[in-house]
Amino acid sequence: MFVRNASRGFTLIELLVVIAIIAILAAILFPVFAQARESARKASCLSNTKQLGLGIMMYVQDYDEMYPCNNWDTPPLGITDTDSHDPKFPAAIAWMWHVMPYMKNRQILACPSDPNTKNVNWSGYDNANPATCDDAWGIPTPISYAANQEIFGYGGTAGTAGCFATDISDWGYDPKGMAAVPSPAQTYMIADYGRETLEAFWINNLRAANYTRIYNESAPGNGARADTTEPWKTRMANPSIYRHQKGSNITYGDGHAKFHIGSSITSGDDFYDLFHAKEGLYTREY
């Protein structure tokens, strides 16, 4: 007498149950993996901002405690290691090129959570050679960070040849040294941003640094005063407008860097922030 041992396979119901379990686990784990990836990108960006702070502090020590400045008189960059490859490029926003010898790596200027690192903050830059004054507000390299112009300021005076040859000394944007900043450890210097320079009125571009990338327009001014206006009020619920998990990385005037939730970021101006913050642009005690 022969006994047939037939192997038993899975039934359709069992297969469906297994597939359902896998789908449930995937739905639970994928957001966790996404958050883990973003945490890694945030850490990489924080490393970038720390390196920028270190490079700037090295520059400050070599230049009598003066911060690097931008070029209101727009002299040629004098270097070819830019995406324009034009040494005659007339740059107004040039602080990053002044500290580049201390960094020697343009890649740290791009945040890995910036959705558009291929074409960032190139206002006016059209890749034309030779460059003209129409390109002067352009930054011929991908960059995700902006500097507080109240600290770095602009070089150049009236009568100097250049694209913006006017005296701006009465604007309060003269180049500054560390002694001119009352609280360097509490003053924003470099940060994730959606515009070329940090400005108090445009603080929402720091609170939501990817806003300009997502909506192709500047976040509204007036800081927290704009939180009840549309479309900003609705768009604030969109997590993609924030650079890192609803916050941004910030480097301070003494070179240290840390992450802040967007809702805790202020301009330091009561008119914009709606509460009594420490007096001074982009300054707050934490």
Per-residue pLDDT tens over the stretch 28-73: 766 766 777 888 899 999 999 999 999 999 999 999 999 999 988 8
Residue 195 pLDDT class (50, 70, 90 cuts):
confident
pLDDT category at 270 given cuts 50, 70, 90 is confident
Alpha-carbon distance 188 to 75, whole Å?
27
Model pTM? 0.80
Crossing angle for the helix pair 12-62 and 95-103, to the nearest 10 degrees:
100
Pick the residue with more confidence: 22 or 278?
22
Instruction: Work out the average pLDDT over 68-94.
Output: 86
Rounded to whole angstroms, the Cα distance separating 52 from 35 reads 25
pLDDT-derived band at 26, boundaries 50, 70, 90: confident
Collapsing DSSP to helix, strand or coil, 249 comes out as strand
Does the structure show a pLDDT above 90 at 104?
Answer: no
Evaluate whether 115 touches 214 at the Cβ level (below 8 Å).
yes
Angstrom distance (rounded) from CA 63 to CA 194: 29
User: Is the Cα dihedral 254, 257, 262, 263 positive or negative?
Assistant: negative
CA distances from 122 to 67, 82, 92, 116 (A): 23, 12, 12, 11
**Range with the poorest average pLDDT among 21-35, 171-185, 250-264:** 21-35
pLDDT of residue 279: 42
Q: What is the pLDDT of residues 202-238, one digit of tens each?
A: 999 999 999 988 998 899 998 888 988 999 999 999 9
CA contacts within 13 A on the Cβ side of 96: 29
